[in-house]
């Protein structure tokens, strides 16, 4: 009798809850998403521990016209991360591992050069700094999804070759699928069994008997919903799923299993299930609280929410929990035209009372906007202090436009002097300000967020000779990827791998370049030569590409009607001389001068000086104190020598480059030091960057030794 009464109470409770959530309105939302003969859509709702809504529509196989049912299984992509994290949390609670453990305790081949600890909890909430494998493979111009049979071992082998991170662990957040691939191996090391076996035990304990991670992409998955895309032309095609990845996604499951899990989460307090209770909280000791155990912990619709989205090929899914309202919504689909997140939001809007955003708005009326700035002065490029975000303001088709990096631009509308709003989002505003002669500042105001500050970059003017410094071949050994920077007329272009296309490079500053969706940051050596380029894209940052071509100093500079060039030539007797030539634009010689003595004299660089002449920088064994000394020659604009000087001691000193100052010049070169003056002995020598400060007449004022270098 007691059992009958309990069953009646559950039925009454279900009817009551179902009535309060207006299932007819939810039906109207989901039924409008697909046609009966489209790829599958699954929608479920759990309220106060009871499944109150289930929806199945579409076909799991368009080829064989198989209808979608409660037994059908779909791939929930990154929504699966919560279950990988749950495996780790269970091992932590059992004492088999600790979230504070360094991951190299389990995976010793990773990041041997990184001194800071990379903790397990850093992997779980994407604060490890480890680069995303899918974006690394994109840089290799070989997408992950096209690599037949790609598995977790392949991903880890790629990560073992990485020497650097996006950032120091625990100091930032960047979502990375690599984190969860590594977690699967840590589960295996800590548990002593395969990840698939361990996760299977977890699912069985939760009553999720139709849920499992992929083992082999060729294996038959009972009742699988096949993935389809129409590629925008209305013709369905099956999306190829060719990889054996797992842990970061690739979990096949039924809607019923996921709703059973949502029930378990909602009832965890009643059942005192510590694993499920703690899985919904921020990670202990974590530097961030917005991402936890494979879950985002941020508001949705202005309600406290626990949620995650996923997308792999044509599969997509959205799970969202509103814990204070006792509400869970789960949507998954094998249809690329469906946006699961949008469906979940619409359903939540039907069930939950609308809650307005509580923010402290900026009082733009009383904001001091300063003197009016002309549109001409506003146009240009702006950058954040950390140089991570680049904004372009420009005019096109009669509109003022805002563009972040190389993303699609947005139209701005002028609200009043120095204050602009986004045409499609009037609550999002931009304020331009300028203090005295300082660069113009751009402040971006978004509702509920802190202002974002950007400073305008000065107009970049780089001549053809300066562009030559960027050209050459660059290679990254971690990915075994190379590219070439080419110069055509007065523009730079990049050539990737065997691609025929050569996209144009946008030069924002001498240090910051943009090409397609890549950001390039130039690194120079102490002599101002381009030595490396750091490439960033999406979830990978500062991938180091080292210049492999011969690195030359500035031997040519432009003049009004051509160029002037310094070089080294063989002398009539023994040794070499320094040759200075003035040339027309077509390369024909106007005049030449030679400098040097009876031995070897070599030139590296030339700079034009404020008095209209030139300074030649090189080295000499004809003059000075030692084997080779730094050799500086000051000449007039017609090449007539005004003075010369040498600097050095017993060993080899070479002059490489110079900069003019108010009082004279700074000479950049190298200085050698050895353990013995006996050149017949095997010597142990080192070479340091040597900075010499001289006055206008060549008299040495001071000198300093800087870092030791090894010339490549």
681 band by pLDDT with thresholds 50, 70 and 90:
low
Which of 16-30, 121-135, 442-456, 464-478 has the lowest average pLDDT?
Answer: 16-30
**How high is the pLDDT of residue 4?**
44
Residue 9 has pLDDT above 50, yes or no: no
- With a pLDDT cut of 90, the percent of the chain lying above it is 73
What region does 220 belong to: left with phi over 0, alpha with psi -120 to 50, or beta? Answer: beta
Using CB atoms within 10 Å of the CB of residue 479, give its burial: 0 to 12 exposed, 13 to 18 middle, 19+ buried: buried
Percent of the chain with pLDDT over 70: 94
What would the mean pLDDT of 275-296 be, rounded to a whole number?
96
**Poorest-confidence range of 315-324, 441-450, 671-680?**
671-680
- CATH number for 464-547: choose from 2.40.128.50, 3.40.980.10, 3.40.50.12160, 1.10.1740.10: 2.40.128.50
Q: Closest Cα to residue 630, out of 649, 646, 614?
A: 646
Q: Which residues lie closer than 8 Å to 638 by C-beta, 6 or more apart?
A: 591
Assign 579 a pLDDT band (cuts: 50, 70, 90).
very high
Q: In what order do the strands lie in the sheet with 653-660?
A: 653-660, 664-674, 685-695, 700-708
pTM for the whole structure: 0.82
DSSP 3-state of 567: strand
User: Domain 55-65+71-96+194-351 adopts which CATH fold?
Assistant: Beta-lactamase (3.40.710)
Handedness of CA 658, 659, 660, 664 (dihedral sign): negative
pLDDT at 5: 43
Q: According to the model, what pLDDT value does residue 406 have?
A: 74
Q: Which of 271, 278, 243, 250 is nearest to 124 (CA)?
A: 278
Give the pLDDT of residue 707: 74
- Structure confidence at residue 464 (pLDDT): 73
Q: Sort residue 542 into left (φ over 0), alpha (ψ -120 to 50) or beta.
A: left
Average pLDDT over residues 85-106: 98
Sequence-separated contacts (24+) of 160-164 with Cβ below 8 Å: 160/109, 160/110, 161/477, 161/478, 161/479, 162/111, 162/130, 162/131, 162/136, 162/478, 163/111, 163/113, 163/478, 164/113, 164/114, 164/478, 164/542, 164/543, 164/544
pLDDT at 17: 54
Say yes or no to pLDDT of 87 above 70.
yes
Which of 309-318, 465-474, 595-604 bottoms out in mean pLDDT, i.e. has the lowest? 465-474
Spatial contact of 561 and 584, defined as CB atoms under 8 Å apart: yes
Q: pLDDT tens for residues 508-562?
A: 888 889 998 899 999 988 777 899 999 999 899 999 999 987 667 888 888 888 9
- Give the per-residue pLDDT at 618: 95
Bridge-based pairing state of the strands 237-238 and 66-67: unpaired
- pLDDT bucket at 390, cuts 50 / 70 / 90: confident
Q: Would you list the DSSP string of 416-469?
A: ETTEEEETTEEEEEEEEE--TTSPPEEEEE-TTS--EEEEEPPPP---HHHHTT
Question: 3-class DSSP state for residue 271?
Answer: helix
Structure tokens at 659: 């900069």
Give the per-residue pLDDT at 69.
97
pLDDT for 378 equals 94
Question: Which pLDDT band, with edges at 50, 70 and 90, does 683 fall under?
Answer: low
* H-assigned helices in 32-103: 81-94
Residues 393/373, Cβ–Cβ less than 8 Å: no
**pLDDT value for 559:** 86
Identify the CA nearest to 122 among candidates 163, 74, 170: 170
pLDDT at 232: 78
pLDDT, mean over the chain: 90
User: CA 394, 397, 399, 405 torsion: positive or negative?
Assistant: negative
Q: Name the residue with higher pLDDT: 388 or 42.
A: 42
| pLDDT value for 294 | 98
Q: What would the mean pLDDT of 232-254 be, rounded to a whole number?
A: 93
CA distance 229 to 313: 8
600-655: per-residue pLDDT in tens? 999 999 999 999 999 999 999 999 988 899 999 999 999 999 999 999 998 899 99
Give the per-residue pLDDT at 427: 87
* Arithmetic mean of pLDDT, 48-66: 97
User: Which of 141-145, 360-364, 436-440, 489-493 has the weakest average pLDDT?
Assistant: 360-364
Q: What's residue 712's pLDDT? A: 43
List b or e across 535-559, with b for residues whose CB sees 16 or more CB atoms inside 10 angstroms: bbbebbbbbbbebeeeeebbbbbee
Find the range with the poorest average confidence among 39-48, 250-259, 702-711. 702-711
Residue keyed to tokens 């590296």: 604
How many Å from the N-terminal Cα to the C-terminal Cα in the chain? 88
């Amino acid at each position: 009798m007691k059992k009958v009464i309990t069953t009646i109470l559950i039925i009454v409770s279900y009817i009551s809850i179902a009535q309060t959530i207006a299932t007819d309105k939810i039906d109207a939302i989901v039924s409008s998403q697909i046609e009966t003969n489209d790829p599958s859509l699954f929608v479920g709702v759990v309220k106060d521990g009871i499944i109150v809504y289930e929806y199945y529509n579409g076909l799991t196989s368009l080829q064989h016209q198989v209808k979608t049912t409660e037994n059908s299984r779909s791939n929930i992509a990154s929504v699966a991360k919560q279950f990988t994290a749950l495996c780790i949390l269970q091992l932590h609670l059992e004492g088999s591992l600790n979230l504070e453990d360094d991951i190299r305790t389990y995976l010793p081949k990773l990041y041997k050069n990184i001194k800071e600890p990379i903790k397990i909890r850093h992997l779980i909430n994407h604060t490890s700094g480890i680069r995303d494998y899918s974006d690394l493979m994109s840089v290799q111009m070989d997408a992950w999804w096209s690599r037949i049979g790609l598995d977790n071992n392949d991903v880890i082998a790629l990560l073992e070759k990485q020497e650097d991170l996006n950032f120091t662990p625990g100091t930032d957040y960047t979502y990375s699928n690599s984190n969860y691939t590594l977690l699967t191996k840590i589960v295996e090391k800590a548990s002593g069994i395969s990840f698939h076996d361990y996760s299977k035990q977890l699912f069985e304990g939760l009553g999720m008997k139709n849920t499992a991670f992929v083992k082999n992409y060729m294996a038959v998955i009972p009742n699988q919903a096949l993935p389809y895309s129409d590629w925008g032309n209305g013709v369905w095609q099956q999306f190829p799923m060719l990889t054996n990845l797992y842990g970061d996604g690739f979990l096949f499951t039924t809607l019923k299993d996921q709703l059973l899990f949502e029930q378990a989460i909602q009832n965890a307090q009643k059942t005192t299930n510590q694993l499920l209770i703690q899985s919904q909280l921020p990670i202990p000791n974590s530097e961030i609280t917005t991402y936890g155990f494979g879950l985002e912990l941020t508001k949705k619709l202005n309600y406290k929410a626990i949620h995650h989205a996923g997308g792999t090929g044509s599969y997509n899914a959205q799970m969202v929990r509103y814990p204070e309202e006792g509400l869970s919504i789960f949507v998954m689909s094998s249809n690329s035209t469906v946006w699961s997140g949008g469906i979940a939001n619409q359903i939540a809007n039907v069930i939950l009372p609308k809650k307005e955003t509580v923010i402290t708005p900026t009082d733009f009326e009383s904001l001091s906007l300063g003197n009016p700035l002309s549109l001409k002065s506003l146009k240009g490029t702006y950058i954040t202090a950390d140089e991570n975000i680049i904004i372009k303001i420009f005019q096109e088709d009669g509109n003022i436009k805002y563009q972040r990096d190389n993303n699609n631009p947005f139209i701005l509308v002028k609200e009043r002097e120095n204050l602009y709003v986004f045409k499609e989002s009037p609550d999002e505003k931009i304020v331009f300000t300028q203090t005295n002669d300082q660069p113009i500042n751009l402040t971006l105001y978004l509702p509920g967020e802190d202002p974002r500050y950007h400073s305008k970059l000065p107009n970049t003017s780089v001549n053809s000779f300066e562009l030559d410094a960027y050209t050459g071949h660059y290679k990254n050994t971690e990915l075994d990827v190379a590219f070439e920077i080419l110069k055509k007329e007065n523009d730079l272009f990049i050539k990737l791998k065997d691609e025929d296309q050569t996209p144009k490079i946008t030069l924002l500053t001498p240090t910051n370049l943009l090409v397609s969706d890549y950001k390039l940051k130039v690194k120079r050596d102490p002599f101002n030569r381009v030595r490396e380029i750091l490439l960033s894209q999406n979830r990978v940052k500062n991938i180091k590409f080292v210049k492999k071509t011969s690195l030359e100093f500035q031997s040519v500079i432009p003049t009004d009607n051509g160029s002037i060039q310094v070089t080294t030539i063989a002398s009539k007797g023994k040794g070499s001389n320094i040759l200075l030539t003035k040339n027309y634009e077509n390369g024909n010689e106007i005049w030449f001068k030679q400098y040097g003595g009876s031995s070897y004299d070599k030139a590296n660089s030339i700079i034009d000086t404020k008095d209209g002449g030139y300074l030649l920088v090189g080295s000499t064994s004809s003059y000075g104190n030692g084997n080779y000394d730094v050799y500086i020659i000051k000449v007039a604009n017609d090449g007539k020598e005004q003075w010369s000087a040498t600097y050095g001691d017993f060993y080899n000193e070479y002059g490489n480059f110079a900069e003019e100052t108010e009082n004279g010049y700074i000479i950049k070169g190298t200085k050698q030091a050895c353990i013995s003056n006996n050149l017949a002995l095997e010597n142990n020598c080192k070479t340091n960057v040597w900075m010499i400060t001289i006055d206008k007449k060549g008299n040495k004022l001071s000198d300093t030794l800087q870092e030791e270098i090894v010339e490549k």
